[in-house]
Amino acid sequence: MTQRSAENPIRVGVVGVGRGSSFAKGAQFVGMELVALCDTWEEKLRDVGKQLNVTTYTDYDKFLEHDMDAVMLANYFHQHAPFAIKALRAGLHVLSETMACGTVAEGVALARAVEQSGKIYLFAENYPYFAYNQEMRRLYHAGEVGEMQYGEGEYNHPFDSHGFNVLSPGMNHWRNWIPSTYYCSHALAPIMYITDTHPVSVNAVSIPRSNRDTEKLYIRRGDPGAIILCRMNNASVVRIMGLTMRGHSVWYRIHGTRGLMENLRTEDKGALRVMHEPWDVREGEQSERIYTPDFPHHAEEARAAGHSGGDFFTIYHFAEAIRKNETPYFDVYRGLEMAMVAIQGWRSCLANGAPFEIPDLRQESVRKQYEDDNWSPWPEHRGRQQPPPSIEGLNPPSEEAIAYARQVWKEMGYEED
């Protein structure tokens, strides 16, 4: 593999000029050179392309023919796997965010494609790289709280009707169909990163809509949230929750065999609390301390980046993996494990909390069992025996909500297909 440096930068293209603009603008800070952009929203693509002075494409296949080393995928949430597989087969390294695959069958195909390509695949989950999560990983591996017995992760992000419609233009936009378990990576990935554990089974229950909700002008069909219990490979239990219920929450807690650590819920939410029972305090330790940690390195660059520094470290680790030809921490298998929690978790919700295994897609024998599993709630996949996006069924939006959404989309310049 060609070694890349500041004098010989990694040439990268970005798919998706909405969320992908953060990756496009941050590439230069990690020794990458942005050379191409791809999106089907032509007006927005043209504007961002002019701003960044790079070649633009509306055709993904043509985009892949551009002279580059890697692609960063920020296209629709559930559509990453087919794009990643095409890029890998074209000989390109891949960074892919949000959900690694939309179905288990896609996950099987993606795992095989990564292995066959010999290229770097990084699952772009940015929340583990908040300063306090990186500090919790350091403390955990130093034995500060012992081995995790129980963990909690929360990512709950409510929106008003206007804000939600701006983020989800189109009747079939993924946010308008997403089941409540599917956006679980922001809650689960930090726990996996801190403790080096991974999920082996899942139980989940979905939270139905309330008729007392005063903000009803949205066209989303799914439920507002879910509670997911993961049994991890060290026998510990992790509870993850969230989606769009009232009360914004980004919070992580680890209960170990000799202590507790968590970021604060109030005031300085970037602060970390570490606590030991009196009988567990060792010489030189405090029973409880609260402090605000900084990033372990590249602090200035991280503080200037989006998502509390997470965006910088995501593409930093992608660039480092390419330069060193080393598998990144969030490789295809960890990315797929989170996707399996989402999919199997939704199966559990529809079965009123029954347990479902997390298939280990590292093993070809397991892949064989799931290679035809195309179970999917997404509208483009709908067919016989496909699941609904809500435990209450399809939840068709009201005419009033549809009219309001279309008004918002028109104001933002989006023309619905």
Instruction: Please report, for the domain that includes residue 56, its CATH number.
Output: 3.40.50.720
Name the residue range of residue 15's domain.
10-127+314-324
Q: How many domains does the chain have?
A: 2
Are 221 and 366 in a shared domain? yes
**Longest pairwise C-alpha distance within the chain:** 66
Q: Is residue 412 predicted with pLDDT exceeding 60?
A: yes
Give pLDDT, residue 417: 62
Burial (CB count <10 Å: 0-12, 13-18, 19+), residue 5? exposed
Asked if residues 126 and 311 have their Cβ atoms less than 8 Å apart, the reply is: yes
- Using CA atoms, how far apart are residues 103 and 109, in angstroms rounded to an integer? 10
- Residue 82 is assigned to a structural domain of this protein: yes
Are 155 and 21 in a shared domain? no
User: Tokens 């929340």 appear where?
Assistant: 127
Element holding 154 (H helix, E strand): strand 148-156
- Work out the pLDDT band at 2, boundaries 50, 70, 90: very low
Q: Is residue 1 predicted with pLDDT exceeding 60?
A: no
Are 83 and 152 in a shared domain? no
Q: Is residue 116 predicted with pLDDT exceeding 50?
A: yes
Tell me the per-residue pLDDT of 123-142, one tens digit each, with 9 for 90 and over: 999 999 999 999 999 999 99
Mean pLDDT of the region 139-154: 98
Q: Is residue 254 predicted with pLDDT exceeding 60?
A: yes
Q: How many CA atoms lie within 13 A of 374 on its CB side?
A: 8
- Residue 229 is assigned to a structural domain of this protein: yes
- Residue 334 is assigned to a structural domain of this protein: no
- Residue 79 is assigned to a structural domain of this protein: yes
Give pLDDT, residue 91: 98
- Residue 359 is assigned to a structural domain of this protein: yes
Are 150 and 197 in a shared domain? yes
Tell me the per-residue pLDDT of 335-385, one tens digit each, with 9 for 90 and over: 999 999 999 999 999 999 999 999 999 999 999 999 999 999 999 887 767
Q: Is residue 237 predicted with pLDDT exceeding 80?
A: yes
Token digits for 186? 């922001």
CA dihedral 395, 396, 401, 402 (to 10 degrees): 150
Are 41 and 118 in a shared domain? yes
Strands 70-73 and 93-97: parallel
Give pLDDT, residue 385: 75
Nearest partner of 290 among 273, 277, 267, judged by Cα: 273
Asked if residues 344 and 123 have their Cβ atoms less than 8 Å apart, the reply is: no
Tell me the per-residue pLDDT of 273-323, one tens digit each, with 9 for 90 and over: 999 999 999 998 999 999 999 999 999 999 998 899 999 999 999 999 999
Indicate the SS3 state at residue 271: coil
- Residue 329 is assigned to a structural domain of this protein: no
Are 123 and 257 in a shared domain? no
Give pLDDT, residue 215: 72
Share of the chain above pLDDT 90, in %: 89
Are 40 and 166 in a shared domain? no
Are 101 and 180 in a shared domain? no
Give pLDDT, residue 183: 97
Indicate the SS3 state at residue 263: strand
Token digits for 402? 């549809």
Instruction: Please report, for the domain that includes residue 171, its CATH number.
Output: 3.30.360.10
Strands 237-243 and 148-156: parallel
Are 43 and 144 in a shared domain? no
- Work out the pLDDT band at 7, boundaries 50, 70, 90: low
Give pLDDT, residue 56: 97
Q: Is residue 217 predicted with pLDDT exceeding 90?
A: no
Are 222 and 347 in a shared domain? yes
Q: Is residue 78 predicted with pLDDT exceeding 50?
A: yes
Average predicted confidence (pLDDT) for the chain: 94
- Using CA atoms, how far apart are residues 67 and 65, in angstroms rounded to an integer? 6
Q: Is residue 3 predicted with pLDDT exceeding 50?
A: no
Are 213 and 95 in a shared domain? no
Are 117 and 132 in a shared domain? no
Q: Is residue 55 predicted with pLDDT exceeding 80?
A: yes
